[in-house]
Amino acid sequence: MAQFDPAAATQAYLAVLTPAQHAKAQAYTQGGHWLLLWGTLVAVAVAWLVLRSGVLVKVRDGIEKGAPKPVRVALAVLIVDAVLEMILSLPWSVYSDWWREKAYGLTSQPFGGWLGEQLLSAVIFIPITTLLMLGLYALMRRAPKTWWLWGSGVVAAFFVVAMILAPVFIMPLFNDYKPAPPGPVRDEVVAMAAKVGVPADKIFIYDGSKQSNRYTANVAGIGATARIAMSDVMFKKDADLAEVRGVVGHEMGHYVRGHIFIFAGMYAAMALVAFFLVDRLFAPVARLLGAKGVRGVADPAGFPVIGIMLAVLGLLATPLQVSITRIGESDADTFSLENFNEPDGLAKALVKTIEYRAATPSKLEEILFYDHPSVGGRVRKAMDWKAAQMQVDAVK
């Protein structure tokens, strides 16, 4: 038998796309890096317009009428700001989230459907983020010197709760979740869950095929809400069981290895630095932006100043954030290979993602922008694993 060559096997997987398709994926991916910069500029411009309009100061003064009413002011100002910023940035969202995706053939969603999902997101996320900001403003009032320290803890707790609950309570608003039908796919997943200690009493199927033909899944929740959810693509007649095992094994890896807690620690650390800088630099930045009538960092009428600072700091922190995320993704691949040994199943699923994340970026591009390792690298790792397993088997 000929020697198995991991490099050649990787090339063969990447060759499922023609050179023209790879070039298109690269254009899409690298254009996406620029969108980070343009998106930040749009966010800054929109917040600045709201700030300079003076409307938030008017809302504040209208509610206060001489007597301080901090909670009511924060609530009203934050909601007015969120709605105004959403409307002002809508043209950009239409371009970057819908029109561009459509132009690259990555979505078939009609504009009306997209807009409906955007409005649904706004209805869900504006109250959630407002609640988070209300908490931060309360901290600023009670602990004006150390709010940034406690605030980072609040962000971490918020992140964990959101990550645990979102798939259970929010994702069902966008897709239809039903108990998975009995059959070989479900049986396989139940056996996999038993092997690595993932709760398997709730296994759901959702209509992921309306968004894409990829094998997608997630394992989320905690305690009574823990469940496995899989796209209906995996339950089609010709579904590839090896691919299902590779992908679901990866998702189980995120769950078993507790990645959300690592990510929460990362966001807490990033929030700590960002909030500290906001606390120290608020006054000069507010002056620079020409904020009028804003009393200080704890005044919700100055929220756009905080928004602008966080947008810029977020952009600067992108390489750090994507790199930590990327390490977690690599770890989930390792978990899948070690526990379920489906290098070809994993590789087959991975090459389906090349369209929107170019397969072979430069090392620098990967470090700066990729929140998943490149598919070229991931497939190669799976093929190296396969080669190592073949050697183990040969020795036996």
CB 282 within 8 A of CB 302: yes
Instruction: For 15, list phi and psi in degrees, rounded to 5.
Output: -75, 0
Stretch that binds Zn ion, among 75-83, 108-116, 148-156, 324-332 (CB under 5 A): 324-332
Cβ of residue 319: shortest distance to Zn ion, in angstroms? 19
Nearer to Zn ion, 251 or 299 (CB): 251
Q: Which is nearer to Zn ion, 59 or 349 (CB)?
A: 349
Strands 217-220, 203-206: pairing kind: unpaired
Residues 6+ apart with CB under 8 A from 211: 107, 109, 175
Residues of span 330-359 touching Zn ion by CB under 5 A: 332
Query: Residue 325 corresponds to which tokens in the numbers above?
Result: 């995320």
Q: How far apart are CA 77 and CA 71, in angstroms?
A: 10
Minimum distance, C-beta of residue 367 to Zn ion, in the bound complex (Å):
18
Give the nearest distance from C-beta 259 to Zn ion in angstroms.
Answer: 8
- Which of left, alpha, beta for 176 (phi over 0: left; psi -120 to 50: alpha)? beta
Shortest Å distance, C-beta 42 to Zn ion:
29
- C-alpha 262/C-alpha 323 separation (Å) is 13
Q: Work out the number of other CB atoms within 10 angstroms of the CB of residue 68.
A: 10
CB of 253 to Zn ion, least distance (A): 8
Contact stretch for Zn ion (CB under 5 A) within 38-46, 96-104, 260-268, 327-335: 327-335
Smallest distance from the beta carbon of 371 to Zn ion, in angstroms? 9
Closer Cβ to Zn ion, 78 or 229, answer by number: 229
CB-wise, 118 or 353, nearer to Zn ion? 353
Stretch that binds Zn ion, among 220-228, 288-296, 326-334, 384-392 (CB under 5 A): 326-334
Binding segment for Zn ion among 92-100, 270-278, 321-329, 335-343 (CB under 5 A)?
A: 321-329
Find where tokens 């000069």 sit: 284
Q: Burial of 108 by CB count in 10 Å (0-12 exposed, 13-18 middle, 19+ buried)?
A: exposed
The Cα–Cα gap between 293 and 305 comes to: 13
Number of residues that bind Zn ion (CB under 5 A): 2
Nearer to Zn ion, 96 or 339 (CB): 339
Stretch of residues binding Zn ion (CB under 5 A), selected from 42-50, 87-95, 302-310, 325-333 = 325-333
Would you tell me which residues interact with Zn ion (CB under 5 A)? 329, 332
